[in-house]
Structure 1
């Protein structure tokens, strides 16, 4: 009886998946110890909660005649491919660990970089990618400070950091 109570008290972590197949990939991974962003990973309950929002927000662009595709999420894979192609041979990410998430024409750059890393240049390059609507840069300095983004290791911890737009 006691072992059943003990095992019930230690619930397994909730499974998180990329339910909507949003693009999520590393631009670089050369700064050891940088926490992996949560990116588009979510629980089933979060997915179910987000589904209506995604349909509504996804079609708003088309209904407002700002998009030619019927859903703004349809732009995400081509945007991700363009980002990969643009930065394929770039040396600007040496000494950084950066990940990209693309959702609804929004690009999130998250990770770690030294203070000398030019975050504004990264923003400008991402904004220049065709069909990108908005860019969020959430890049911390080094690995010792708390990450300015949700991490896979602590997905429910509030970041407390506003986007540096």
Structure 2
């Protein structure tokens, strides 16, 4: 069995403990990041792909290496896995519109989606009766998606499985402009 070090590195990046203060956090890689529902009011917003400059510099080599890996391994038609992300984000939005008509219960949630290197990261809060398995299965069907990662909870009062974003400083508007944050109708 071969261990995929890329999975471990990405998981470590995602589970960075604590709450990210908003000071100089930016979506420096321009990774698609958008909110798709907002029915649960007490759900903390994830930090998403927003990082400070030091984190960005520390991870930039790995980002380049991982982005090109799928091309070198013959798993990608495009030379960089990040080149798929905008297209995947658009397809994911269309899939969510389809789900609105065919799996109505999924809207009983407050969810954000990050698209990163052909992966969909779903973070946020869901109701206890949320149709999680069919929802995640529908996202796995989005073309060119390699992996769907579930970081949701039905009990936000017990904590959330992701780094949180704290609102409050004046740089919030510039970060929101960097993020793709249009909710699905």
The TM-score range, normalised by the shorter chain, is: 0.7 to 0.9
| CA positional deviation for 1:15 | 1.2
- Counterpart of 1:57? 66
User: Would you say the 8 A contact 2:106–2:135 is kept in 1?
Assistant: no
User: How big is each residue's C-alpha offset from its partner over 1:78-110, in whole Å with a ceiling of 9 and x where there is no partner?
Assistant: 000001011125133332101100100011001
Instruction: State which structure, 1 or 2, has the greater radius of gyration over its C-alpha atoms.
Output: 1
Alignment of 1:114 onto 2:127: yes
Query: How many residues matched?
Result: 143
- Counterpart of 1:161? none
Alignment partner for residue 113 of structure 2, among 100, 106, 115?
A: 100
Alignment partner for residue 141 of structure 1, among 146, 149, 154?
A: 154
Gaps of 5+ in 1: 1-11, 155-165
Alignment of 1:26 onto 2:26: no
Bigger proportion of residues as helix: 2
Alignment partner for residue 131 of structure 1, among 144, 153, 163?
A: 144
User: Would you say the 8 A contact 1:37–1:152 is kept in 2?
Assistant: yes
| CA positional deviation for 1:13 | 5.9
Matched position secondary structure for 2:68:
helix
Higher relative contact order (CA 8 A, sep 6+): 2
TM-score calculated relative to the size of structure 1 = 0.81
Gaps of 5+ in 2: 1-20, 168-185
Q: C-alpha separation between the residues in 2 aligned to 1:137 and 1:48?
A: 27
Q: C-alpha separation between the residues in 2 aligned to 1:41 and 1:86?
A: 25
TM-score calculated relative to the size of structure 2 = 0.73
Q: C-alpha separation between the residues in 2 aligned to 1:30 and 1:45?
A: 35
- Counterpart of 1:44? 53
User: Would you say the 8 A contact 2:95–2:139 is kept in 1?
Assistant: no
Alignment of 1:72 onto 2:85: no
User: Runs of 4+ in structure 1 displaced over 3 angstroms?
Assistant: none
Q: C-alpha separation between the residues in 1 aligned to 2:22 and 2:123?
A: 23
| CA positional deviation for 1:77 | 0.6
Q: C-alpha separation between the residues in 2 aligned to 1:37 and 1:13?
A: 12
| CA positional deviation for 1:37 | 0.7
